[in-house]
Structure 1
Amino acid sequence: MKKFSSVPSSQQGVALIVVLLFLILITLAGAIAVKNSTTDLKLATSEQADTLMLNTADNTNKSIEQIINIDQTDSKAVVQKSIALSSAGMFGYFMNLGAEDNRGDQIVFCYRPRDAYFFQMNEATVIDPRGGSKLVTGASSSGGFCRVSNVSDFSNARNNVMTQVAVTRPSSDMIASEPFEYVPTQRTITTSDATSTSPNFRVFSTSFLPGMTQAGEKEILECLKKPNQNAADYGYAEKDKDGNDVTKYYDQTLTQCLASKGVPAKTLVEDVKLDNLLTSEKCLDYGKGSSSNKISAACQKLLNISASGAPK
């Protein structure tokens, strides 16, 4: 005896359609969840990248400050400060006698905190606003610019962020100041003393993430060679169609170029003033001879004399 189902065939079709609708809704819900998760991940990555670049650029500027404001008992720090203030240093270059014509130059170098030294002119490039670049003591193969292919050029051990620094002394027409504003008190202005004033400097620290872009090393290097400000004022040498040397001028700054290549970057700009702090040392009480009052130990060391005042 045959048994027949009591459910009509039309109702079985309705049940099948309802199941398919539920499957479609579940699939759509899953796709939306994946899409939202991907968006959240991208937002988190972008925020982390901004924080990383900002902190790295800020640490670079702090390192420059620490080079000048050193502990005099640290022999290595004293050497680094003397280099920075020497004629081939990132600050001393602008303080040489007769160096007024170098205002607006930019000393460019790659920040390498894992190296034994912070700055050396033979690993830097001086960008000249009057056209091209000039070297002071001869540059290494890096030419002062960060290279993606050089592991030592990365600012951290994870090798994901680089920082390029540019130091310049703006020309007087770029800084509004009062007469004698940058002359320290109790100092006489002399042409033979380049430190008789407190010069102003501008520091650009640009941190970027080369691994988060499709741009190659050559493209990034082209951007790093561009000036940090007033692009149209900086020129570079090139040949015309007849082979003659001509000067052309940039149409983009460094950060504008990196942005056009899709390279994440942050630039911190700081104006700093190099102050010459005057300190006094009491060597001997006024009106008392050396027989009754010994000269202080600090003055003995400073003047290279004995406690009684006799030359050593």
Structure 2
Amino acid sequence: MMNQRSQTGATLIIVLVVLLLITIVGTLAIRQSLVSLNIATNGQAQQLMMESSDSAVFTAQDADNLSQEMATNGMFGYIRTSNNKGKELVFCYRGTNTDFFTIANASIIQWQTGSAPNYLEIGTAGYCDPRSSSNYYTSGRGVVMTQITVQFVDSSTDDTPFAGTVSGTDTDSAKVVSAEKAVVHAVSLMPTLSTASTSSIYSCLSTHMSNPVVPTGYTASSGADQSISECLAGLNVPFTTHISEYTLTQTLTSSS
């Protein structure tokens, strides 16, 4: 009787050990599957955000739209004026909109007197807003947001001598328009993949510049000199930033 009880006890121990091993193997398999799923999800997210940024930039540089964008109410024309140099024109790329850009859905952000950028010069319609029920996304799926900023900077800071100058032409004597350098940032993000609050994400998009340069003599308040990318990175928001530089020059043609 004692021998039978001992055998029964030994069998129970063996069964428990086998169950423990099965549990460990199953847990490891589930963990591996979750890691693989996260890698695949991250890869798909990066691909979607890159495609959204590329789509926005390709539309911005489309030659068919360039004449319209260079008008005084266009994407480049409005911000290239002398009193707007250094400011950033901001708008949210909405794939469902018929027009890529309208000044009515744009904002201006710039560094002014004080310790942080002023983002209210012409209103807040240009900033992507994850808090809103309106569609600020690049498509009807409501997954990716892409915010565009356009800034004209001093082309004299270019490392290449005479960058953008028409070859063989003196700008002053020929009355040729001087070359101008425009920088376009396209920041794409996926708010739904972040644990950050929509208010914090909106604060990054609306109160930070893509290319913040603190004027000489000013002291930035804590975090105010962060770029949008740095702000989003601090919140662990998935994003990509696409930066394009353009040199706008006057083309001279001869007629016979």
TM-score by length of 2: 0.83
CA contact (8 A) 1:231 1:252 kept: no
2:78 is aligned to 93
Q: What is the CA deviation profile of residues 21-63 of structure 1, one whole-angstrom value per residue up to 9, with x for unaligned ones?
A: 1111112111111111111111111111111111111111111
Correspondent of 1:58 among 54, 61, 64: 54
Q: What is the CA deviation profile of residues 78-127 of structure 1, one whole-angstrom value per residue up to 9, with x for unaligned ones?
A: xxx4441122322113444xx1x432211111112321111112211121
CA contact (8 A) 1:215 1:261 kept: yes
CA contact (8 A) 1:167 1:203 kept: yes
Correspondent of 1:168 among 131, 151, 160: 151
Matched, 1:36 2:19: no
Correspondent of 1:205 among 186, 189, 204: 186
The one-letter code of the counterpart of 1:92 is G
User: Within 2, Cα distance between the matches of 1:169 and 1:31?
Assistant: 55
Residue 6 of structure 1 and its aligned partner are, at CA, apart by: 11
1:294 is aligned to none
Correspondent of 2:195 among 192, 195, 214: 214
Higher relative contact order (CA 8 A, sep 6+): 2
Where in structure 1 do 4 or more consecutive aligned residues deviate above 6 Å?
A: none
User: Within 2, Cα distance between the matches of 1:274 and 1:61?
Assistant: 16
Name the count of aligned residue pairs: 249
Correspondent of 2:239 among 261, 265, 274: 265
CA contact (8 A) 2:93 2:145 kept: yes
Matched, 1:105 2:90: no
User: Within 1, Cα distance between the matches of 2:220 and 2:73?
Assistant: 27
Counterparts of 1:1-312 in structure 2, within 5 Å, are 8-66=4-62, 69-70=63-64, 77=65, 81-96=66-81, 99=82, 101-131=83-113, 132-133=118-119, 135=121, 138-139=122-123, 142-148=124-130, 149-172=132-155, 174-179=157-162, 181-185=163-167, 189=171, 196-225=177-206, 226-230=208-212, 232-233=214-215, 250-279=224-253
User: Within 1, Cα distance between the matches of 2:8 and 2:96?
Assistant: 74
User: Within 2, Cα distance between the matches of 1:44 and 1:115?
Assistant: 31
User: Within 2, Cα distance between the matches of 1:45 and 1:175?
Assistant: 39
The one-letter code of the counterpart of 2:23 is T
Residue 257 of structure 1 and its aligned partner are, at CA, apart by: 1.0
- Are the structure 2 counterparts of residues 8 and 220 from structure 1 closer, same or farther at C-alpha, using a change threshold of 3 Å? closer
**Structure 1 SS opposite 2:28:** helix
CA contact (8 A) 1:104 1:128 kept: yes
Q: Any stretches of 5+ residues in structure 1 without a counterpart?
A: 71-76, 237-245, 283-312
Residue 13 of structure 1 and its aligned partner are, at CA, apart by: 2.1
- Are the structure 2 counterparts of residues 133 and 23 from structure 1 closer, same or farther at C-alpha, using a change threshold of 3 Å? closer
- Are the structure 2 counterparts of residues 216 and 13 from structure 1 closer, same or farther at C-alpha, using a change threshold of 3 Å? closer
User: RMSD of the TM alignment (CA)?
Assistant: 3.1
TM-score by length of 1: 0.70
Residue 261 of structure 1 and its aligned partner are, at CA, apart by: 1.7
Residue 160 of structure 1 and its aligned partner are, at CA, apart by: 0.4
- Are the structure 2 counterparts of residues 145 and 118 from structure 1 closer, same or farther at C-alpha, using a change threshold of 3 Å? same
User: Within 2, Cα distance between the matches of 1:158 and 1:104?
Assistant: 35
Residue 233 of structure 1 and its aligned partner are, at CA, apart by: 4.4
CA contact (8 A) 2:111 2:213 kept: no
Q: Any stretches of 5+ residues in structure 2 without a counterpart?
A: none
**Structure 1 SS opposite 2:61:** helix
Larger Rg: 1
